[in-house]
Amino acid sequence: MKRWIVRGLLGLLTVLVLLIGYGTLIEPRLVLDEEQESVEIPGLAAGAPPIEVAVLADMQIGMWWGNPGMSARAIARAVEAEPDVVLLGGDFVYHAGPDVEPEVETALELLAPLLESGIPTYAVLGNHDYASGAAEELTAALEGAGVPVLLNESEPVPGTGDDPLHVVGVGPVRPGLVDVDQALAGLPEAAPRVVLMHNPASFPEMPAGSAPLTVAGHTHCGQIALPGLPNWSYLGLTEEEEIVVDGWAPEGYGADGNALFVTCGIGFSVVPVRINAPPQVVFFELTPPTQE
């Protein structure tokens, strides 16, 4: 009997070692998931060509044993696709040292192919950007490179028609910078729009019909997503922050006429492991509503 117990324990240990090896060396560094989604956006002119949008989030520069190589690969893939607009969902920096400049410089270096491509690009900041003390320097660096950092405000995307697509940027939940009313202020009521936020917890605050497509990051899709346990995540989400962790929010979540997609992002938080939650770049094809 003892022999079988020992063999069983050795078998479990072997599986655990293999799983950790996969989660640290293979999935997060070699596997890039590409999601392709199509969404009808009210306000887009009938017969207008689709608008292609790429979404990237959570580079997490400064995380121990981080993942800058995958960030570079995901950015290169987004540029290669030649979308009409790229949205950056925050957490560029994970935990900067006393001097945030090295992490900010690294983030801008990784983004260089995108910045040089001329593709209209918009960003929001995330909770780690603020917690690391890098928010001010990141904002200055990104906007100096031509990337508007949207803090509860909106901007039209050039080249998207006479009634252009607008990007609405909502501030991060932490440190309490969410102001949905301000984000929507000044936005023409019928303007086609996509809402960009870092933390999906803000999504239920969007008024009905104001966010036909909302994209968010922050969760890393659980980062360690065990099959059969869809609600489990190392993030330890509290009851006060019950949020959608991965992909499309279920029907009925949020106000009528609104939709939310949460990307897995690229980097890490807490531990440099991804299992069943690979780094991701998401492409959306935005089309006018189907005429009935």
pLDDT per residue over 233-266, tens digit each? 444 444 445 677 789 998 889 999 999 999 999 9
Task: Say what percent of the chain tops pLDDT 70.
Answer: 86
Question: How much is the pLDDT for 96?
Answer: 64
Amino acid at 253: Y
Question: How much is the pLDDT for 104?
Answer: 94
pLDDT at 185 over 80: yes
What CA–CA distance (Å, rounded) separates 292 from 282? 29
Residues belonging to the chain = 292
Each residue of 28-49: b (16+ CB within 10 Å) or e?
bbeebeeeebebebebbeeebe
pLDDT at 232 over 80: no
What CA–CA distance (Å, rounded) separates 24 from 1? 35
What CA–CA distance (Å, rounded) separates 36 from 283? 5
Q: Are 104 and 93 in contact (CB under 8 A)?
A: yes
Question: How much is the pLDDT for 224?
Answer: 83
**pLDDT tens figures, 33-83:** 999 999 999 999 988 899 999 999 999 999 988 999 999 999 999 999 999
Report the predicted TM-score, pTM, of the whole model to 2 decimal places. Answer: 0.92
Question: How much is the pLDDT for 98?
Answer: 76
**pLDDT tens figures, 85-95:** 999 999 999 97
Question: How much is the pLDDT for 238?
Answer: 41
- How high is the mean pLDDT of the chain? 89
- β-strand partners of 197: 170
Question: How much is the pLDDT for 236?
Answer: 45
